[in-house]
Amino acid sequence: MGIYTLDACNKYGLNIAGPHTETMEKIVKAAPHWFNVGNPLDLWPIISTSEKPIEESLRDTIFAFMKNPAIDSVILFLAAWMENENTPLLLTEIISAIADAFPDKAVVLCPYEGWVHDVDIQIIENKLKKTGKVPIIPTPDRAAKALGTAAKYYEFLQNV
Helix (H) or strand (E) run with residue 63 in it: helix 54-66
Which stretches of the chain drop beneath a pLDDT of 50?
none
31-51 pLDDT tens trace: 888 888 877 778 888 888 888
- pLDDT value, residue 113: 64
Helix (H) or strand (E) run with residue 74 in it: strand 73-79
- pLDDT value, residue 109: 87
Domains contained in the chain, CATH given: 2-158 (3.40.50.261)
If one counts every other C-beta atom within 10 angstroms of the C-beta of residue 32, the result is 10
- pLDDT value, residue 115: 54
Among residues 148, 140, 111, the alpha carbon closest in space to that of 5 is found at 140
Tell me which DSSP letter residue 13 carries. T
Q: For the whole model, what pTM was predicted?
A: 0.81
- pLDDT value, residue 150: 93
Please check whether residue 18 is in contact with residue 65, taking contact to mean a CB–CB distance below 8 angstroms: no
